[in-house]
A = this chain, B = another copy of it.
Amino acid sequence: MNKDLISNDIQLDSSGKLIHLLGLEGLSKNHLTHILDVADGLLDAQGNLKKSKALDDMSVANLFFESSTRTRNTFEIAGKRTSANIINVDLANSATKKNESLLDTIHTLKAMQIDMFVIRHKQSGLPHHVAENIDGVSILNAGDGINAHPTQALLDMLTIRQHKQSFEDLSIAIVGDITHSRVAHSDIQALKTLGASDIRLIAPAGLQCDSKQCATIKCFDNIEEGIKNCDVVMVLRLQKERMLEADIPNEQEYFDNYGLTPERLALAKSDAIVMHPGPINRGVEIDSSVANGKQSVILQQVSNGIAVRMAVMEILAGNS
């Protein structure tokens, strides 16, 4: 599916209320800020997560067609902390193997009283296709192909907001495999919506963003140049599982040219924060000492990931 053809229109009802979370295009600054505010309210002063009863009578199904224990766990934990029933549907042995179509599977689960579906799929636009064809349930996109990963971008925004005053004056560098990263795509969209004016994409030629997107943001193939004086460094994972064999860079060479080392980080502002969506390839895209260093907010991102997913579930359930 062509990325340009994927529309998020259906995620808002006629009054502008969020009823699915498919992607960040089409959401206003108010929409994003409301989600971040609800998430913040789920954290106590020490950054620990509270529990809520918001989904006490609801059931959520995790439909992960791409394996990702980490992200599935975050939705499972987030769901349980809102008191929802969580069903992890075992897709390897599911009815889709018996020729049942995906939509039939989801209609069937809806008839079993599932209220919300968390979907990860390698096909861009698949969650949108589901949302267009089934009423009365909420669809939450947990990553579709190279299209979008909205909850990851929202947790990234929450983390930035906890450290920086406003998005308007920030310089943000995103380093790595832009081409294959739905995270980068959603982060760029969120940063634009929240008003960030200086977004820099740092990548080798083969992994840089396409020309159209780049029209409004700055592209670098030199990390030292791109990182200079920035406030936030977002490091991306090498998504080897989405690359052709021939395109996978040599890891040592990649680290030599793009790895975030203490020396490179020193070129950013002294209070710059270092982010990574995880899981980390230490010594490939980031030096171990930087990942563990005091500018790293990587584990805070993880906690915020639970809060943001709880917030989105509560909002979709109509309870926040």
Contacts and interface: CB of A to CB of B under 8 A. Distances in A.
Interface string A71-104: 0111011001100010101110111001111001
B69 A99 contact: no
Contact of A49 (B72, B93, B113): B113
Contact of A104 (B91, B112, B279): B279
A266 interface: no
Interface residues of A, number: 51
Given A73-B89, A80-B85, A280 B104 contact: yes
B112 A73 contact: yes
Interface string A140-179: 0000000000000000000000000000000000000000
Interface in A176-234: none
Given A95-B278, A98-B279, A299-B108, A113 B69 contact: no
A112 to B, nearest CB: 5
A202 B180 CA distance: 53
Interface string A5-41: 0000000000000000000000000000000000000
Nearest to A91: B69
Interface in A275-308: 278-282, 284, 299-300, 302-303, 305-306
Contacts of A109: 73
A94 B69 CA distance: 5
A45 interface: no
Interface of A: 48-49, 51, 57, 59, 67-70, 72-74, 76-77, 80-81, 85, 87, 89-91, 93-95, 98-101, 104-105, 107-114, 237, 278-282, 284, 299-300, 302-303, 305-306
Across the A-B interface, give the 7 residue pairs with the lowest CB-CB distance, nearest first.
A100-B279, A111-B302, A95-B279, A111-B299, A67-B93, A69-B94, A49-B113
